Every structure is written in structure tokens, then in C-alpha cells.
Amino acid sequence: MSETETTTEVADPKVLLAHHLKKLKLPTILAEYDKQARLCAEQGIDHPRYLLRLAELELIERERKMVERRIRAAKFPAPKSLDSFDFKAIPTLNKLLVLELARCAFVARRENIIALGPSGTGKTHVATGLGLAACQKGMRVGFVTAAGLVNQLSEARDEKRLLRLQTSLAKLELLIIDELGYVPLSQIGAEMLFEVISQRYERGSTIVTSNLPFEEWTSVFGSERLTGALLDRLTHHVHILEMNADSYRLKQSKARKGKRIG
């Protein structure tokens, strides 16, 4: 009799099974196999379908954890979905287009999205909702403000790891650059941001939100030539989301105050 056979006979089968399932990294099967065995016995389900049920539970849990990892890696300011967005508050926004974009085919086609509108109209919410939808489909997503991205690039340049950061950004299937236009950029910062967007041209999708119309972007980048080249790349394959309305956040704040007063 071999050592393995002896160990199997001596040890508690449940202890060995737990050990093997942990080694195989099948925690959901470990947690569920006993309960599912009882349920399948009660329901008259045969062994193949019992194993199929366990495999499906393992796959579902792995997918859930994968989505959670993608969401954490994306670094959203707050994981808001499109389900909680009030489309009625922004009548200029094409709801059907947004819902179509949430299917994320635009990412596969390497198309861009630009959301334009005043502060507080929900641009970040919509961009985050689309980013969450991409995470749920297993895509690599990154979220950053324009000013934050320029700061990251500047720090990476000073620490001689700029190429590594640029490579990491280029690998993202969807990069969301929020709040472009809120802070004017230095010449070097504008050039580094342009380089990031240029590297993604027809290689990855980018979502940009801005409170400024296109004709005012020169005030951010400080150069008509650079602004023109950037817009040329961003708008070649693009979906424009017009979000012109009174502040969405201000309306919500007034509504909450009104309820408290009442």
C-alpha cells in the first residue's frame, strides 16, 4: 500500500478534502459542497449535476471577486452606477445613447466619450457608471482627475519612472479623465497629458469630462497647436454627451433642505 493510500485511509476524508480544495484554490466549493450535497440528495439531483452546480457557484464567486478587484484598481471616487442617475434632471443628455454605451461595445471599438457641461450636472456620475459597467465586463479601467493625472506624471518623471507609468496607462482598456478644465495646466503638464491621450489613440478608449466647451480648451492647455492636436485625436472616434443644465447637486441639496424644513 502506498503512502498516499495509507494517509487517505487514516485521515478524515473531510479534512483531506478541505486541504485539497484549499490547495486547488476552490474556496466556494469548500464552503458549499456539504450543503449542496444535502440539497441535491433531497431534490434527487445526480452526481454530474451536483458537480456542475458546485462548479457554477465557484465560477460566479470568482467573477464577483474579479469585478471587485477591477473596481478597486480603477480608483473611482465613489462607485456610482447609472441605475442611481436621474436622467430627467438633465434633459439635454441622450439617455438612450448612455444606456447603449453602458454595453461597452465602444471600448472594444476603441472609441472615446467626451461629457461636456457645467459643474454639478452629473458628468462624473455618468463617467463612473460607464466605468463600473466596463469593470463588470472584465475590462481594465482607470479613473483620475486631469490635475491628478498631471501630478502623477510629474512625480513619475522626477522619479525616473515616467515610462513605466505611461505603459501602465496605455494598457488600460478604458481611462477616465475627469474634470478637465477646472485647473489650468503648465506647459510641461499639458504636454505630458497630451502624450497619454496620444498613446491611447486607436489603442484604448478614453472618457473625458469637462466644464468647458471645446473652443475654451486652449485656456487649459495654453497652446492652440497642442489643443488642436489633442482634439483631433480625441474626437476622431467619439461620442459627445451634452449635459447642459442647472447644477444637479445643487438641486438635490435644495430638495434635502426643503424636506428637513417641512
Q: Is 173 left (phi over 0), alpha (psi -120 to 50) or beta?
A: alpha
Share of the chain above pLDDT 90, in %: 63
**26 and 133 inside one domain:** no
Burial of 227 (C-beta count, 10 Å sphere; 0-12/13-18/19+)? buried
Task: Determine the residue type at 230.
Answer: L
User: End of a domain among 49, 68, 87?
Assistant: 68
**129 and 28 inside one domain:** no
**127 and 179 inside one domain:** yes
User: End of a domain among 68, 88, 114?
Assistant: 68
Does a structural domain hold residue 212? yes
Range from 4-8, 16-20, 72-76, 217-221 carrying the lowest mean pLDDT: 4-8
Strand ranges inside 70-204, DSSP E:
112-116, 141-145, 174-180
| Average pLDDT, rounded, for the chain | 88
* β-sheet bridge partners, residue 142: 175
Q: What is the CATH number of the domain that holds 150?
A: 3.40.50.300
pLDDT in tens, 93-139: 999 999 999 999 999 999 999 999 999 899 999 999 999 999 999 99
At a CB cut-off of 8 Å and minimum separation 6, what does 231 contact?
A: 214, 217
User: Residue 1: pLDDT above 50?
Assistant: no
List the strands of the sheet with 112-116, edge to edge: 141-145, 174-180, 205-210, 112-116, 238-242
Does a structural domain hold residue 22? yes
User: Residue 62: pLDDT above 80?
Assistant: yes
The pLDDT of 31-53, averaged and rounded, is 83
pLDDT at 259: 53
pLDDT at 167: 94
The range of the structural domain enclosing residue 129 comes to 75-252
**171 and 229 inside one domain:** yes
Which has the closest alpha carbon to 230: 179, 195, 180, 205? Answer: 195
pTM of the entire structure? Answer: 0.80
Distance CA 103, CA 97 (A): 10
Does a structural domain hold residue 257? no
What secondary structure does DSSP assign to 182-235, as a single string?
A: SSPPPHHHHHHHHHHHHHHTTTSEEEEEESS-GGGTHHHHS-HHHHHHHHHHHT
**27 and 89 inside one domain:** no
pLDDT in tens, 234-259: 999 999 999 986 655 555 555 555 55
Does a structural domain hold residue 260? no
**86 and 106 inside one domain:** yes
Domains identified in the chain, total number? 2
